[in-house]
Amino acid sequence: MRRAALALVMLVLAFVTLFACARTKSDEGRDAMIQVEGAQFFREPMPADERGPKVLTATLAARARAGYVEQACSGDLEPAATAIAIGLAGDVGYWIVPAGLPLASAPSAPTFEIVFGVSANVAPGRYDVVLRAVDASGRFGPSAVRPLDVAPAARPDGRLVISLSWDNQADLDLHVVLPSGIELFKRNRTEYQRPPPSAGPVPPNAPTDGGVLDRDSNAMCVPDGQRAENAVWTEAPPKGRYVVRVDTFSLCGAPSAHWRVEALLDGKRIGGAQGTSTEVDTRFEHNRGAGVLALELDVP
Amino acid sequence: MPAFVRRSSQAFVAAWILWGGAAMAQAPPATTAPEPVRTDLEARVARLEKEAEARRAAPLPVAVSGYVHMDWVVFRQSSQDEVTQDREPLNEDRFVLRRARIRAERDQGLFHGAFEIDANTINGPQVRPVNAEATFKWPADRPYARTPWAYNPAMPRVGSEGPGAATARSAANEPWFMVTAGLFRTPFGFEVAESERDRPWLERSTMSNALFPQSFDLGVRVVGGFRFLRYALGIMNGAPLGDRTFPGRDPSKSKDLVFRVGGATAITDGFILEGGVSGATGRGFHAGVPATKDLIQWEDSNADGVVDNTTEIQVIPGAPATPSESFKRFAVGADLRATITLPVLGDLHLRGEVVRASNLDRGLFVSDPVATSRDLRQLGYYAGASQEITRWALVGVRYDHYDPDADAREQEPFAVVPRDLSMSTWSFSAAGRTRVARLVAQYDHRRNALGRDASGRPTTLADDSFTLRAEVRF
């Protein structure tokens, strides 16, 4: 019995050795710093040999936000090129994109046009985008390096910023309950509460600022490209306990939405949470008090 | 009273009672002779015992059977601990209940009914009907044939019939025709109609999975045979259970016509030959799209997080609805299978099948000639051999090839070049088995064109796998 099992294992290993070499491996490359939709990912550094064709021109916007998915890069290559390799210096791998038709203005130069996304986990800073042409025999050419300044994910400035962001066209709403009991949400966007008429005239110097909700993103399933809402205090925020909830107004046809909540006090992260909204979350009231609890934090 | 007198009187009384009771129990009384009555009674008892014995020996009114296929995918090269854009897991290294089926059926002479349900966990737990048949068959005394296209070993081979062969054939042969309405295997070729528990390899070839996904479809079928001839003709929805777009439903009123004509016979002792040609024709469906409204799209081209009205806002105009359309599709195929009985070892099965089709891919790269503005031609074939190693083991090897689009092209920088989208698989299987159970190990070596090499050219995306399967029948 033991011999039979050993023979079976040896047989499998023989098949693996015989058949599994010199083939491209499946890899989504989700942990790479840049991601190219539809391209082939290779989890290895680019070869050192540079005897292949050159990149003639390469145009790349020098600035991108972490989490941005529409970064464009285009240019043309020497005639022998059949593909272009693109990756960030120091990344876990690179991407291969087939070369395209030449332009009428340069009929002998294959072109390339790449749209890539910058991972949301990329720390802000300057990076080098490495571009290398590849010929039909797989030889890489010399590197063309373009700088890319990765800015932090777009977030308004303020002493206290509580942000909600999500990943698709769903209509999610941020609810923040202040220590005073006031709740900021799309139907009450400011902390300032206008006194009732019976209270008499409002003193001209009475505070009218405080926390503000900046927008109702994807309201009524009209996509606005933001997919984020922020409660911002430009001055010192009230001290005490804050409760943050996420209300799923509608998934707008999506099966689910993945959200993330983050709180920054004077630029420092003081709390965060993430979760998933499903169809069940849309079935409740969407007024004051709505939503699932995402975060509780104390502001000193 | 003296003792002997008392005893005599008691004996008389007892004899009188016995005689009287027996006489009262007899009908008709006194005039019938006792001997024929006893014979009659014995005959009656014997008949009742015989009927009871026959009832005990008869099959249950409803025959219930089933089997379980439990797989352990030990490794698969394409497996990743990741999810797709649709949040479907990409991991394939797992235990999976491939199929657990239970079938109830009853043969009632002219009529036969069957119902089979399947449970699996391929895409999460699922229970569904896979087979439901209402059949009229003739002659009534011939049993329902599960595989009417295959050779029936109970049938004497041509030219070797001895006395009583005609009676034996009548009892063993399939009906001359069976008319079936319901959900059943598409009668095309050999592999599409073959039961999963009879196949030496774990799954069907790529060709069959693409053109007739999961095989079962709704419709009406006539199937039967006469001597070595076999025929099958079906009118089907054309949307089998494995259809990627409308599984088990029919989005258009047109129906598919499917047929197979062939033969199955024993040429000599130990050499059986089965074969046939098949065809399918019908219309596929291209779904229209509803109207869309104008959309405003923001692209943060300077990555400042601020909407710049002049350069970053663009309008995507809406479009009116487009109508659905249908398109023609067909397939022709030929299949051949030979069974050679080898001394000591057992049966050697050789099989091959080839199919040429147009716009018929419904399971892998779904054909839509309306979207591609050209017909998509498919070509598939396989060849396999399996050898019994006594009755306890079986080994097999199969090569299958499938090209979903024989005219595929790809634009390279300076030319449009043909692109080979074909995929092929070498399957090596070994099984240990008993009468009711099997343990199968199979290695699949796959070649495809789903990856790209460093030069940007299509290449094989590694997808070999090794799978163990436990099967129990009941």
Closest of A74, A160, A57 to residue A114, by C-alpha:
A74
pLDDT band of A134, cuts 50, 70, 90: very high
DSSP A197: G
Interface residue of B79, B83, B429, B452 to substitute, partner A, most A CBs within 10 Å:
B452
In the three-class reduction of DSSP (H, G, I as helix; E, B as strand; rest coil), residue B19 is classed as helix
Compute the distance between CA of residue A38 and CA of residue A28 in angstroms, rounded to an integer. 10
Interface residue of A23, A55, A135, A251 to substitute, partner B, most B CBs within 10 Å:
A23
Compute the distance between CA of residue A234 and CA of residue A232 in angstroms, rounded to an integer. 6
**The pLDDT of residue A199:** 74
Taking an 8 Å cut-off on Cβ atoms, the answer to whether A24 and B455 are in contact is no
In the three-class reduction of DSSP (H, G, I as helix; E, B as strand; rest coil), residue B55 is classed as helix
Angle at B237 between CA B232 and CA B240, to 5 degrees: 90
pLDDT at A195 over 70: yes
For tokens 């205090």, the residue is: A233
CB–CB of A219/A210 below 8 Å? no
Taking an 8 Å cut-off on Cβ atoms, the answer to whether A136 and B454 are in contact is no
Q: Within 13 A of B441's CA, how many CA atoms are on the CB side?
A: 12
**The pLDDT of residue A41:** 94
Closest of A126, A110, A136 to residue A55, by C-alpha:
A110
Q: How far is A15 from chain B (nearest CA, A)?
A: 8
Nearby residues of A13 by Cβ (< 8 Å), 6 or more positions away: none
pLDDT band of A20, cuts 50, 70, 90: low
pLDDT (mean) for A210-225: 84
Interface residue of A24, A135, A277 to substitute, partner B, most B CBs within 10 Å:
A24
**The pLDDT of residue B73:** 96
Taking an 8 Å cut-off on Cβ atoms, the answer to whether A24 and B461 are in contact is yes
Taking an 8 Å cut-off on Cβ atoms, the answer to whether B461 and A23 are in contact is yes
Taking an 8 Å cut-off on Cβ atoms, the answer to whether A64 and B303 are in contact is yes
Measured CB to CB, residues of chain B less than 8 Å from chain A are: 74, 77-80, 82, 87, 90, 295, 297-305, 411-414, 428, 441, 443, 445, 451-457, 459-464, 466
Q: How far is A296 from chain B (nearest CA, A)?
A: 28
Q: Within 13 A of A196's CA, how many CA atoms are on the CB side?
A: 2
For residue A16, list chain B residues with Cβ-Cβ distance below 8 A. Answer: 464
Going along A136-195, which residue ranges are E strands? Answer: 144-151, 160-166, 171-177, 183-184
**The pLDDT of residue A229:** 92
CB–CB of A164/A172 below 8 Å? yes
Compute the distance between CA of residue B327 and CA of residue B287 in angstroms, rounded to an integer. 11
For residue A224, list chain B residues with Cβ-Cβ distance below 8 A. Answer: 298
Whether the pTM exceeds 0.90: the reply is no
**The pLDDT of residue B27:** 47
CB–CB of A204/A258 below 8 Å? no
Closest of B474, B456, B434, B465 to residue B201, by C-alpha:
B465
Q: Within 13 A of A26's CA, how many CA atoms are on the CB side?
A: 19
**The pLDDT of residue B160:** 45
Compute the distance between CA of residue B172 and CA of residue B175 in angstroms, rounded to an integer. 9
Q: How far is B71 from chain A (nearest CA, A)?
A: 17
| CA-only gyration radius of chain B, Å | 33
**The pLDDT of residue A146:** 94
User: What confidence tens digit (pLDDT) does each residue in A157-171 have?
Assistant: 888 999 998 888 889
Which residue of A20, A63, A100 is in closest CB contact with B303?
A63
- ipTM computed for the complex: 0.73
Q: How far is A102 from chain B (nearest CA, A)?
A: 6
**The pLDDT of residue B337:** 95
Which residue of B298, B304, B464 is in closest CB contact with A225?
B298
Interface residue of B455, B461, B464 to substitute, partner A, most A CBs within 10 Å:
B455
Count contacts between A and B (CB, < 8 Å): 124
Spans of chain B, pLDDT less than 50: 1-5, 12-27, 30, 157-171
Angle at A202 between CA A199 and CA A206, to 5 degrees: 125
Compute the distance between CA of residue B468 and CA of residue A178 in angstroms, rounded to an integer. 59
Torsion of CA B157, B160, B163, B166, to 10 degrees: 30
Burial B334-367 (b: 16+ CB within 10 A, else e): bbbbbbeeeeeebeebebbbbbbbbbbbbbbbbb
Compute the distance between CA of residue A26 and CA of residue A119 in angstroms, rounded to an integer. 20
Compute the distance between CA of residue A259 and CA of residue A276 in angstroms, rounded to an integer. 6
Compute the distance between CA of residue A246 and CA of residue A162 in angstroms, rounded to an integer. 12
**The pLDDT of residue B33:** 56
Nearest CA in chain A to B83: A28
DSSP A48: S
**The pLDDT of residue B300:** 72
Question: How far is C-alpha B380 from the chain's CA centre?
Answer: 19
Nearby residues of B286 by Cβ (< 8 Å), 6 or more positions away: B324, B325, B326, B327, B368, B369, B370, B371
Residue B39 to residues B18, B31, B36, B127, B139: CA-CA distances in angstroms? 21, 16, 5, 59, 39
CB–CB of A277/A259 below 8 Å? yes
User: What confidence tens digit (pLDDT) does each residue in A229-239 have?
Assistant: 999 998 889 99
Burial B113-124 (b: 16+ CB within 10 A, else e): bbbbbbebbeee
Compute the distance between CA of residue B225 and CA of residue B178 in angstroms, rounded to an integer. 9
Compute the distance between CA of residue A38 and CA of residue A258 in angstroms, rounded to an integer. 23
Nearby residues of B142 by Cβ (< 8 Å), 6 or more positions away: B170, B171, B173, B174, B175, B176
**The pLDDT of residue B197:** 86
**The pLDDT of residue B304:** 66
In the three-class reduction of DSSP (H, G, I as helix; E, B as strand; rest coil), residue A228 is classed as strand
Closest of A260, A236, A25, A274 to residue B78, by C-alpha:
A25
Which residue of B80, B302, B413 is in closest CB contact with A26?
B80
CB–CB of A91/A97 below 8 Å? no
Handedness of CA B72, B76, B81, B86 (dihedral sign): negative
Closest of A79, A115, A137, A140 to residue B415, by C-alpha:
A79
In the three-class reduction of DSSP (H, G, I as helix; E, B as strand; rest coil), residue A52 is classed as coil
CB–CB of B254/B326 below 8 Å? yes
